[in-house]
Amino acid sequence: MTDRIMHFLRNRREDGPCLVVDLDVVRENFGAFAQALPDTRVFYAVKANPAPEVLDLLAKLGSCFDTASVVEIEQVLATGASPDRISFGNTIKKERDIARAFALGIRLFAVDSEAEVEKIARAAPGSKVFCRILCDGDGAEWPLSRKFGCVPEMAAQVLEQAHRLGLVAHGLSFHVGSQQRNPRMWDGALASASAIFRDLAERGLTLQMVNLGGGFPTKYLKDVPAVKAYGQAIFESLRKHFGNRIPETIIEPGRGMVGNAGVIEAEVVLISKKSAADAMRWVYLDIGKFNGLAETMDEMIRYPIRTAFDGDEAEPCVIAGPSCDSVDVLYEKEPYPLPLSLEIGSKVLIEGTGAYTTTYSAVGFNGFPPLKSYVI
Ligand SMILES: *Cc1c(COP(=O)(O)O)cnc(C)c1O
């Protein structure tokens, strides 16, 4: 929570939950990344929060952008950033979208299969490609599983294929899992990456770049290491595995760039119990899984929730959203302590919600509007 957000909310008159993002915090986060990883270019992961004000600020600060669709590419271009500052980082693209991106000037693409390389060779000839390798996501609170990437042996083949088809085999990428609380988790992926670099060099192909992905955490309830600790751990691993031939590196922070810049104000709609004998309160908010808090899925992300009654006696309760879908329960497996003095109609502040909230919000499910957002 910042004074600017507090001031904004005090003067807000409209109804309904809203997210407020403080650009000063985004600016500080960008500076912290630049300082912690001074030789690494930042490609902000647009999906975390594509608000035009956020993209404009980052473009002005010199950031590059990781995008996953033609619409995201257009959102970045609208800031005036040139296409050489944009990567098309999704490994799963329609060929006609690759062609549209190419027409817009995009020349850097992610792949993780030979079939995708073939599409890029046809639709974006001569472009640079980097191949994503699988990462197990251990230690991450929001692991990315096996959807993206291929095993290291396949990555070498994919890049050789790219080279054969006239593309530039530029490098490798990985993602250690989102909300990665262990700075050492980049080490295993960098060991694999360096082995692929050596293997391909022996076959006459010199890679240039390692894309270190996202994963940098936001502080929710538990403490997380500072970005400086990530910079140090990553630099040590680069030294260990690449010696004095450290490749060009980029990072793609999403959550770590905007998560702590946002606060959601929501309202208590109902406090009730399931039976007279049951001590457990159910607290229903006007925000839930479908209008902003999708990352409470499996209770993976546990947001700090502030109320005007903090400090009063608190007891665990179940917190649920407003929709008529029974999966719209935020915290039940591990009930969440809220003050007993909390009342129907009270406002609550949900912190650390600058990333993956507006973009995960459904359009009108049950008639609830998508999460409103203000960037100040
Ligand atoms: C979502 C995504 C990111 C951002 O991840 P965070 O954990 O939010 O930093 C980075 N790179 C790629 C390819 C992504 O899909």
CA distance 316 to 225: 28
| pLDDT for the residue 137 | 65
| pLDDT for the residue 147 | 87
- CATH code of the domain covering residue 295: 2.40.37.10
CA distance 172 to 149: 10
Check whether 13 has a pLDDT greater than 90.
no
| pLDDT for the residue 361 | 94
Closest ligand 1 atom, CA of 356?
8
How much is the pTM? 0.96
Q: How far is the CA of 346 from the centre of ligand 1 (A)?
A: 35
Give the chain's domain count. 2
Query: Which pLDDT tens digit goes with each residue over 2-11?
Result: 999 999 999 9
Does residue 123's CB lie within 6 angstroms of at least one atom of ligand 1? no
Query: Which pLDDT tens digit goes with each residue over 59-85?
Result: 999 999 999 999 999 999 999 999 999
**Which residue among 178, 295, 356, 357 has the greatest number of ligand 1 atoms within 8 angstroms of its CB, and so is best to mutate?**
178
Please identify every residue annotated as catalytic: 324
- Residues 252, 273, single domain; the answer is no
Bridge partners of 284, per DSSP, are 270, 320
For the record, the structure tokens of 69 come out as: 């669709």
- Residues 62, 179, single domain; the answer is yes
- Residues 141, 281, single domain; the answer is no
Where are the alpha helices (H) located in the chain, listed in sequence order? 3-10, 23-36, 52-61, 70-77, 95-103, 114-123, 152-164, 186-202, 227-242, 255-258
Check whether 192 has a pLDDT greater than 70.
yes
- Residues 322, 248, single domain; the answer is no
Give the range among 3-17, 111-125, 205-219 with minimum mean pLDDT.
Answer: 3-17
**Which residue among 43, 44, 63, 66 has the greatest number of ligand 1 atoms within 8 angstroms of its CB, and so is best to mutate?**
66
- CATH code of the domain covering residue 187: 3.20.20.10
| Cβ contact 294:81 at 8 Å | no
In a domain, 5, yes or no: no
Mapped onto helix, strand or coil, the DSSP state of residue 289 is coil
Closest by CA position to 37, among listed 182, 235, 212: 235
In a domain, 13, yes or no: no
Looking at residue 279, its amino acid is A
Q: Could you tell me the residue range of the domain that residue 351 belongs to?
A: 260-375
Check whether 94 has a pLDDT greater than 70.
yes
The 8-class DSSP code of residue 48 comes to G
Q: Which of 193, 228, 258 corresponds to the end of one domain? A: 258
Quickly count: other Cβ atoms within 10 Å of residue 310's Cβ.
Answer: 13
By the 10 Å C-beta count (0-12 exposed, 13-18 middle, 19+ buried), 244 is classed as: exposed
- Residues 271, 180, single domain; the answer is no
| pLDDT for the residue 364 | 87
In a domain, 16, yes or no: no
In a domain, 7, yes or no: no
| pLDDT for the residue 143 | 66
* Mean pLDDT value of segment 174-179: 94
- Residues 277, 176, single domain; the answer is no
Q: Which of 208, 230, 258 corresponds to the end of one domain? A: 258
Check whether 136 has a pLDDT greater than 90.
no
Q: Which of 194, 226, 258 corresponds to the end of one domain? A: 258
* Mean pLDDT value of segment 215-229: 96
| pLDDT for the residue 250 | 98
- Residues 321, 365, single domain; the answer is yes
Closest by CA position to 57, among listed 353, 264, 357, 261: 261
Query: Which pLDDT tens digit goes with each residue over 306-365?
Result: 999 999 999 999 999 999 999 999 999 999 999 999 999 999 999 999 999 999 999 989
The residue to which tokens 């119990």 are assigned: 273
Considering the chain, what is the average pLDDT of its residues?
96
- Residues 104, 210, single domain; the answer is yes
* Mean pLDDT value of segment 233-261: 98
CA distance 333 to 343: 23
Q: How far is the CA of 326 from the centre of ligand 1 (A)?
A: 29
Closest by CA position to 130, among listed 181, 176, 169, 76: 169
| pLDDT for the residue 144 | 67
| pLDDT for the residue 145 | 67
